[in-house]
Each structure stands twice: as C-alpha cells, then as structure tokens.
Structure 1
Amino acid sequence: MTESVFFNPGDAIASSHDYKAARRSAQIFKANKPTAGQIIIAKNAKNGEYAIYLADRIAPSNQGVRHDIKDRL
C-alpha cells in the first residue's frame, strides 16, 4: 500500500523524472546537511515526477499536491 501525502511543489529541494537521480540528490543533500531532518522522496501523482522534500513540509490536503512516498532518508 502506498502512503500519500500533500506537498507544495515550491517546497521541493530537487526534482527529477528519474528515481535514481532523485535518490542520489537526496543522499547528497543529506550528506551536506546532516541536521536537516528526515528527507522524503515522493512521486507527484499528477505528472509522475519524483521530488525531494523535508518531512516537516507536509501540507494540508487543501493546500498541496498529492504525492506518493517512495522512500525516506
């Protein structure tokens, strides 16, 4: 079962159409800012693009775009 959450696309740290590229970007960000908190790699339910967000940036459903969580770092 996929967990869905809502994010404001403007809060994305990075995005990519390729999951491996998104994961690599997330790992680089985590290595450069180890105190940044939990990072979520999520797939936009509308356009299929992967985006990287900080977990504390989850938005209320009426203010964000639905994303399916693919990985947490």
Structure 2
Amino acid sequence: MLLMNNETVFFNPGDAIANSRDFREARRSAEIFKTERPTERKIVIAEADGKELFAVYYADTQKTAEAGGTAHHIKDEL
C-alpha cells in the first residue's frame, strides 16, 4: 500500500502507536518504536485534520471513512 502526502487517509485514533502535538517528537517516537520492535510493516506519521495532532500508525491499519476512521494527512513514512 503506497500512501501519499497529499491525499486524505483515515485511521482509527485508538490504533495510534504514539501521538504528539509536536511533529519532531512524534517522529522520534516512531523511530524509537521501530528500533525497539523491528518490523517490515511501514510506519507513518500522520496529522489529524484540524487538530494539530500528529499520530504514529502502522500504514496497514488504514481505515475508510465508512469504517469510522478519522481523516489524516501523511507527513512522513518510516
């Protein structure tokens, strides 16, 4: 699954690995998580629409709006 920065994607906030109001802090949390739990799964840092909140998710936990997901925009991928 390829996620693009300019498209709206949906995630369930309860699936977040970490979150922060600061992008650098969210990115650092993602790096630490990936180092401590090596995986082939892609990790993304996404910004929730209108909330100024960055959350870290596994990319494959993406939802649809109909499935109750919250709109996000991908800011970075690991």
Q: Is the structural similarity TM-score above 0.5?
A: yes
User: Does the CA contact (< 8 Å) of 1:5 and 1:67 recur in 2?
Assistant: yes
Q: Residues of 2 paired with 1:9 and 1:36: CA distance? A: 22
Which ranges in structure 1 are unaligned for 5 or more consecutive residues? none
- Are residue 28 (structure 1) and residue 46 (structure 2) matched? no
Match of 1:7, as an amino acid?
A: F
1:11 to 8, 11, 15: 15
Q: Residues of 1 paired with 2:32 and 2:7: CA distance? A: 24
Match of 1:2 in 2: 6
Q: Residues of 1 paired with 2:50 and 2:14: CA distance? A: 15
What is the RMSD of the two structures over their aligned residues, measured on CA atoms? 1.2
Alignment of 1:1-73 (within 5 A): 2-35=6-39, 37-62=41-66, 63-73=68-78
Match of 2:43, as an amino acid?
A: I
Range with greater deviation from structure 2 (31-40 or 4-13):
31-40
Q: TM-score with structure 1 length normalisation?
A: 0.93
% same residue = 49
Match of 1:22, as an amino acid?
A: A
Match of 2:74, as an amino acid?
A: I
Which ranges in structure 2 are unaligned for 5 or more consecutive residues? none
Structure 1 segments of 4+ aligned residues over 2 angstroms from their partners:
none
CA, structure 1 residues 36+29, in 2 after alignment: closer, same or farther (shift >3 Å)? farther
